[in-house]
A = this chain, B = another copy of it.
Amino acid sequence: MEPAPALRADARHNRARILEAAREAFATRGLDVPMAAIARRAGVGVATLYRRFPSRETLITEVFGDELAACASVVDEALADPDPWRGFCSAIEKVCAMQVADLGFTEAFLTAFPDAIDYERTRVRAERGFAEVVRRAKAAGRLRADFDLADLTLLLKANCGVAAGAREAAEAGSRRLVAYLLQSFRAEHAAPLPPAPPLTLALLHERR
């Protein structure tokens, strides 16, 4: 697909340094960190950064490609678990932990990049997989029948709010929130009926 322009050795080296710097910067200060800060951290000029990654989105897409893939593999692990409910729980716990660990990841998750094809493809794969995890957990009678796929979105956004706080509080808070919610998702506790779920996965990225 790519003609692979064959970067020169120094350029390749700098590209790696930029990605590393961006990863650190995004994780600690969020997606809004100035491009100049990333460049400085990478020990390159701004021009170099812009030449390699024409837009901020390009950079973000590249940086979080791996982490999104990690997300997808978390779902795969869940599917591999012989216990459907345990798989469901651990998938959610792991993704939420990832969100808390990396401030930028959370934002990247919530910000749409319609142009990033790979990105989108991986996400769709993860969603498909998760749908299967949900199906299995329901079939096993452990997950409440009215659990909606959009509830994952809901949980992620909620967790995102918790993740925004101070590191330590965010970690503990997220774990507790997830524990509470997983409890509500259990089939046994489904007695009272919550309102309808008009949250679609696509709506995850909407701004106001």
Interface residue ranges, A against B (CB under 8 Å): 28-29, 103, 110, 151, 153-154, 157-169, 172-173, 175-177, 179-181, 183-185, 189, 191-192, 194-200, 203-204, 206-208
Contacts and interface: CB of A to CB of B under 8 A. Distances in A.
Contacts of A206: 165-166, 169
Contact of A184 (B29, B110, B169, B183): B183
Nearest to A205: B165
A27 to B, nearest CB: 10
Given A157-B161, A183-B192, A184-B184, 19 more contacts: A28-B208, A151-B176, A151-B180, A153-B173, A154-B176, A157-B162, A161-B163, A161-B164, A165-B203, A165-B206, A166-B206, A172-B198, A176-B197, A179-B194, A180-B184, A181-B184, A183-B189, A183-B191, A184-B189
A189 B179 CA distance: 12
Contacts of A164: 110, 157, 160-161
A175 B155 CA distance: 13
Nearest to A200: B169
A75 B165 CA distance: 25
A150 B53 CA distance: 43
A198 B28 CA distance: 21
Nearest to A193: B179
Contacts of A157: 161-162, 164-165, 173
A176 B103 CA distance: 25
10 contacts: A160-B161, A160-B164, A161-B161, A165-B206, A169-B199, A176-B196, A179-B192, A180-B181, A181-B181, A181-B184
Contacts of A189: 183-184, 189
A172 B195 contact: yes
